[in-house]
Chains A and B, each alone.
Chain A
Amino acid sequence: DAGVIQSPRHEVTEMGQEVTLRCKPISGHNSLFWYRQTMMRGLELLIYFNNNVPIDDSGMPEDRFSAKMPNASFSTLKIQPSEPRDSAVYFCASRTGTGDEKLFFGSGTQLSVL
């Protein structure tokens, strides 16, 4: 299995631009998570999906952030408009089941908003 696949690996954009991050979970995993990592705050959960349905988006910082999972093999995290404070590494992770199973992380997207 190729693992969790994220794209792009790096994204540099200007303030005000729309940014779309993409994630392909491991086949057969039915839970998907988006995390953000910064030096100041460490890893934070933004949103997670079970069976393609958003369950908890309380970690999404504000309305500029949105996430979708149109099918079991694809999810997007969109920031519109982007701001410099959105600069961070964004990780996608997936796992089987809906309990406390092990998480599998993608390689992350390093986002820089200038």
Chain B
Amino acid sequence: KNEVEQSPQNLTAQEGEFITINCSYSVGISALHWLQQHPGGGIVSLFMLSSGKKKHGRLIATINIQEKHSSLHITASHPRDSAVYICAVGRGAQKLVFGQGTRLTINP
């Protein structure tokens, strides 16, 4: 079993829909990261969080340390949100363990 599991692996939705991507992990962590990888391949760090919730524009990330679970939400989704979203957990020092990613496609 992978240390970091994301669901769903693929998600297709219509523009405007509310999107939720989930990340579960099985080890103790110091922080959790959400990354966005654009179709062109570049990777952008969206959030780094160790508790509670963070919001940036239409993106919201939450984490429940007790349940070892995090969610990334996108409100009013748009085709430009189409990307691969990757969850990564920090386990001491600076090592990140990555999930396999969720491929999101938003159709106009």
Contact = CB atoms under 8 A, between A and B. Distances in A.
A93 B43 CA distance: 10
> How many B residues touch the partner, as a band?
20 to 34
Interface string A93-113: 100001111111101101000
> How many A residues touch the partner, as a band?
20 to 34
Contacts of A48: 94-95
A89 B88 CA distance: 18
B22 interface: no
Contact of B30 (A100, A105, A110): A100
A108 B41 contact: yes
B59 interface: no
Nearest to A93: B43
A55 B99 contact: no
